Structure 1
Amino acid sequence: MSMLVFCSATGAPGVTTTALAVAWALPLVHSGRRSLVLDADVAGSAILPGFLRAGVGADGGILAAATDRTGVSGGTLLERAVALDETGARWVLTGITDPTQGRTVRDFATTLAEGARALREPGVDVVVDVGRLGHRYEPTALLEHADVVAVVFRSTLPSITGARAALGSLRTLRGPAAGTLGLMVGAAGPYGAREIAQELQLSGVLTLPEDRWAAGILTAGGGTGRRFENSALLRGARALATDLSAASQALQPVRGVRS
Structure 2
Amino acid sequence: MSVVALCSAHGAPGTTTSALALCWAWPVARPGRRVLLVDADPAGSGLLTGYLSPGVPDAAGVSALAAGRLPVTAEQVVGCGVALDGAGTRMVLPGIADPVQARPLASMWQSLLGAARDLSDSGIDVVVDVGRVGHRAEPRTWLAGADLVGVVVRGDLASVAPAAAAVRGLAAERTGRLAAVAVLVDAAGYSPAQIGEALGVTHVLSLTRDPWTARALAAGGATGWRFERSPLHRAARAVVERIDALAPDRTVVTR
**Distance verdict in 2 for CA 1:239–1:223, change over 3 Å:** closer
**Distance verdict in 2 for CA 1:26–1:149, change over 3 Å:** same
Q: Within 5 Å, which residues of 2 pair with 1:54-69?
A: 54-57=54-57, 60-69=60-69
Deviation at 1:250, TM superposition (A): 8.9
TM-score norm. by structure 2 comes to 0.93
Deviation at 1:215, TM superposition (A): 0.6
1:146 match: 146
Q: Within 5 Å, which residues of 2 pair with 1:175-194?
A: 175=175, 177-189=177-189, 191-194=190-193
Counterpart residue identity of residue 118, structure 2 = A
Are 2:180 and 1:158 equivalent residues in the alignment? Answer: no
- Are the aligned partners of 1:13 and 1:152 in contact in 2 as well (CA < 8 Å)? yes
Deviates more, 1:164-173 or 1:224-233: 224-233
- Are the aligned partners of 2:74 and 2:115 in contact in 1 as well (CA < 8 Å)? yes
Distance 1:250 1:188 in 2: 34
TM-score norm. by structure 1 comes to 0.91
Q: Within 5 Å, which residues of 2 pair with 1:84-103?
A: 84-103=84-103
Compute the RMSD of aligned alpha carbons: 1.8
Percent identity (aligned): 45
- Are the aligned partners of 2:8 and 2:15 in contact in 1 as well (CA < 8 Å)? yes
Q: What are structure 2's unaligned runs of at least 5 residues? A: 251-255
Runs of 4+ in 1 over 6 A off after TM superposition: none
Deviations 1:179-229 (A, max 9, x none): 41111102332x332222112122341110011111111112225122212
Distance 2:32 2:233 in 1: 18
1:228 match: 227
Distance 1:36 1:240 in 2: 17
- Are the aligned partners of 1:38 and 1:94 in contact in 2 as well (CA < 8 Å)? yes
**Distance verdict in 2 for CA 1:54–1:250, change over 3 Å:** closer
Counterpart residue identity of residue 116, structure 2 = A
Deviation at 1:90, TM superposition (A): 0.4
- Are the aligned partners of 1:154 and 1:184 in contact in 2 as well (CA < 8 Å)? yes
Distance 1:101 1:220 in 2: 24
Are 2:225 and 1:214 equivalent residues in the alignment? Answer: no
Q: What are structure 1's unaligned runs of at least 5 residues? A: 252-259
**Distance verdict in 2 for CA 1:79–1:58, change over 3 Å:** closer
- Are the aligned partners of 1:23 and 1:90 in contact in 2 as well (CA < 8 Å)? yes
**Distance verdict in 2 for CA 1:59–1:79, change over 3 Å:** closer
- Are the aligned partners of 2:184 and 2:207 in contact in 1 as well (CA < 8 Å)? yes
2:253 match: none
Q: Within 5 Å, which residues of 2 pair with 1:100-119?
A: 100-119=100-119
Deviates more, 1:200-209 or 1:52-61: 52-61
Deviation at 1:6, TM superposition (A): 0.3
